[in-house]
């Protein structure tokens, strides 16, 4: 994939529906890895389906949880996957072999989990109606400090490099905390008008640049500059760069995200399967993508590198992309598309072995004779895969998953231990096997021992144990409604 060829001079946002991914079970949430080569989809039956996004085929299925998966996050190098389910469990998975490395049990429902952007040994957990928790793998866990108003409806997120944690509450107060010391660095309040506050529903950061967005219950998406927010300090009053909203329908937003380059913002409607795309610099609405009527949106993610959006509704992952127009003249500059056959006039010397009429250009011939050394060994780092403070790509990163071949008529002994060991050693000798990670293959050998899962019970003081996860609340409400309608239908008239 040559990323330089993908940089089009036109718009860099999706324009049309480009197919769907069916995970067999109902999809609930999804997340791209850093390179956009793998898409992890959390399902209603607790499974995590990892799709190879280039081939649009299933690369791996991890039987992760028993209850629905409600949040997913990839580690920076793509080797680990963090998942949360509606049964209050948070797990860390080894993507290559599908083993659970760590399991954390929380007393209350989990709304969101997020790996530290630069440290795979730390992750952030947002329990329902409780302070966010910063967990160190194999170590301690700390609750993030609350604001003086004591509101417990907390949403939190790491910034782009994990230097700060931004947390917001239902009173519209946003705190900026140092991710190491958890000291409050800056804070500000989102006020509607002069007096009333509005609840913070989510905070999302762009992969590039310093911008972040705040989705609030007043149906407005506010875009801020994180540097300006930190500069303003405690009780500051930073002005949003943009305020985005649907002025016509006054839509409430289910999920918001930035494009890979941070230049566009996509928001999914909470009422219907509709995606709104704005340009961040100007704040103008550039596109509305409409899905099937009557469907409700569950999740929206933007591809880290390309102008592609993945959205989830009614159990399917919908892919939205640009309309690719075939331009044959790009391959041959003198190529012409003809509407009808044209009689070709042959040149005098066209099929001669040596062109007698050609004028001799000695300088040009001398240039051709010069040997030009072309460097085919050193690979230049792709700018889209490197952060602005890095020069090189992460060589240990997991970009693709090895896929076992599907054998229609297997021979005797296929799949046995000896055969599998022979296959495994063959894979490891081939270090350049299809762009896959050879180190990862060693881990994935059938002979390797399965690692024991480390389980931890996280105790939170005064946590709301009786609370039901929002995903399950909606299901319970639907069940009640259907039961009520059945009762009403079957009740005899007096």
What residue segments make up the domains of the chain, in order of their start? 26-250
Query: Residue 141 burial (CB < 10 Å; 0-12/13-18/19+)?
Result: middle
Q: How far is residue 163's CA from residue 165's CA, in Å, rounded to a whole number? A: 7
Both tokens of residue 301?
A: 């993610």
CATH architecture of 26-250: 7 Propeller (2.130)
Residue with token string 């409600």: 70
How far the first Cα of the chain sits from its last, in Å, is: 71
Residue 463's nearest CA partner among 149, 150, 109, 144 is: 109
Q: How far is residue 129's CA from residue 199's CA, in Å, rounded to a whole number? A: 13
**Can you give the pLDDT at residue 386?**
82
- Which element (helix H / strand E) includes 427? helix 417-429
Mean pLDDT by 10 residues, the chain (494 residues): 50 91 94 96 96 94 95 96 96 95 95 96 95 92 90 94 95 95 95 81 95 95 96 94 93 96 95 95 95 93 96 95 77 77 82 71 62 81 78 85 72 51 40 38 44 87 86 67 43 40
Residues with Cβ < 8 Å from 74, sequence gap 6 or more?
A: 31, 32, 33, 34, 38, 40, 80, 81, 82, 115
Angle at 303 between CA 64 and CA 111, to 5 degrees: 45
Burial 210-241 (b: 16+ CB within 10 A, else e): bbbbbbbebbbbbbbbbeebbebeeeeebebb
Contact, 311 vs 275, CB < 8 A? yes
Alpha carbon 103 to chain centroid, angstroms: 22
**Can you give the pLDDT at residue 1?**
45
Q: Are strands 454-457 and 100-105 parallel, antiparallel or unpaired?
A: parallel
Q: Which letter does DSSP use for residue 455 in this model?
A: E
Q: How far is residue 35's CA from residue 270's CA, in Å, rounded to a whole number? A: 28
The torsion angle over the Cα atoms of residues 55, 59, 63 and 65, rounded to 10 degrees, is -50
Contact, 116 vs 158, CB < 8 A? yes
**Can you give the pLDDT at residue 418?**
45
Residue 328, CA distances (Å) to 279, 332, 334, 336, 469 in order: 31, 7, 10, 8, 53
**Can you give the pLDDT at residue 113?**
97
**Can you give the pLDDT at residue 363?**
62
**Can you give the pLDDT at residue 378?**
82
**Can you give the pLDDT at residue 129?**
92
Both tokens of residue 167?
A: 């947390």
Alpha carbon 463 to chain centroid, angstroms: 30
Contact, 50 vs 35, CB < 8 A? no
Residue 175's nearest CA partner among 187, 163, 159 is: 187
How many residues appear in the chain?
Answer: 494
State the maximum Cα–Cα separation within the chain, in Å, rounded to a whole number: 109
φ, ψ of residue 192 to 5 degrees: the values are -100, 115
Q: Which letter does DSSP use for residue 414 in this model?
A: T
Residue 17's nearest CA partner among 415, 284, 311, 252 is: 311
């Amino acid at each position: 994939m040559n990323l330089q060829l993908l940089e089009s001079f036109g718009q860099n946002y999706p324009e049309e529906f480009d197919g769907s991914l069916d995970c067999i079970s109902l999809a609930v949430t999804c997340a791209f890895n850093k390179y956009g080569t793998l898409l992890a989809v959390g399902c209603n039956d607790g499974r995590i389906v990892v799709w190879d996004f280039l081939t649009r085929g299933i690369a791996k299925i991890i039987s992760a949880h028993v209850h629905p998966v409600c949040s997913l996050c990839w580690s920076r190098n793509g080797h680990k996957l963090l998942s949360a389910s509606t049964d209050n469990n948070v797990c860390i998975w080894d993507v290559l072999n599908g083993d659970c490395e760590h399991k954390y049990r929380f007393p209350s429902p989990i709304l969101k989990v997020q790996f530290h952007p630069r440290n795979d040994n730390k992750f952030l957990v947002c329990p329902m109606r409780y302070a966010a928790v910063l967990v160190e793998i194999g170590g301690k866990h700390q609750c993030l400090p609350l604001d003086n108003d004591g509101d417990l409806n907390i949403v939190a997120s790491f910034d782009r490099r994990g230097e700060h944690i931004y947390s917001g509450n239902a009173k519209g107060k946003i705190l900026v905390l140092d991710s190491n010391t958890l000291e409050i660095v800056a804070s500000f309040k989102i006020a509607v008008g002069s007096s009333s506050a509005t609840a913070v529903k989510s905070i999302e950061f762009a992969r590039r640049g310093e911008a972040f967005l705040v989705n609030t219950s007043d149906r407005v998406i506010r875009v801020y500059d994180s540097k300006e927010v930190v500069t303003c300090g405690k009780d500051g009053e930073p002005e949003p760069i943009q305020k985005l909203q649907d002025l016509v329908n006054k839509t409430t937003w289910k999920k918001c995200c930035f494009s890979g380059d941070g230049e566009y913002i996509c928001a999914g409607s909470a009422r219907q399967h509709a995606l709104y795309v704005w340009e961040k610099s100007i704040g103008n609405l550039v596109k509305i993508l409409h899905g099937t009527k009557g469907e409700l949106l569950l999740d929206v993610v933007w591809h880290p590198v390309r102008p592609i959006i993945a959205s989830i509704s009614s159990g399917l992952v919908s892919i939205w992309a640009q309309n690719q127009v075939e331009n044959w003249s790009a391959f041959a500059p003198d190529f012409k598309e003809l509407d009808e056959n044209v009689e070709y006039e042959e040149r005098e010397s066209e099929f001669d072995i040596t062109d007698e009429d050609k004028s001799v250009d000695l300088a040009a011939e001398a240039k051709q004779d010069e040997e030009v050394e072309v460097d085919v060994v050193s690979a230049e780092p792709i700018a889209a895969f490197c952060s602005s403070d890095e020069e090189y790509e992460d060589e240990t990163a997991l970009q693709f998953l090895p896929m076992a071949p599907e054998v229609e008529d297997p021979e005797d002994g296929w799949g046995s231990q000896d055969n599998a060991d022979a296959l495994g050693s063959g894979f490891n000798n081939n270090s350049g096997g299809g762009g896959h990670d050879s180190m990862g293959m060693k881990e994935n050998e059938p002979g390797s021992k399965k690692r024991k899962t480390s389980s931890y019970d996280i105790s939170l003081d005064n946590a709301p144990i009786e609370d039901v996860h929002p995903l399950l609340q909606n299901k319970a409400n639907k069940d009640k409604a259907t039961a009520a309608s059945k009762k009403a239908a079957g009740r005899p008239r007096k």
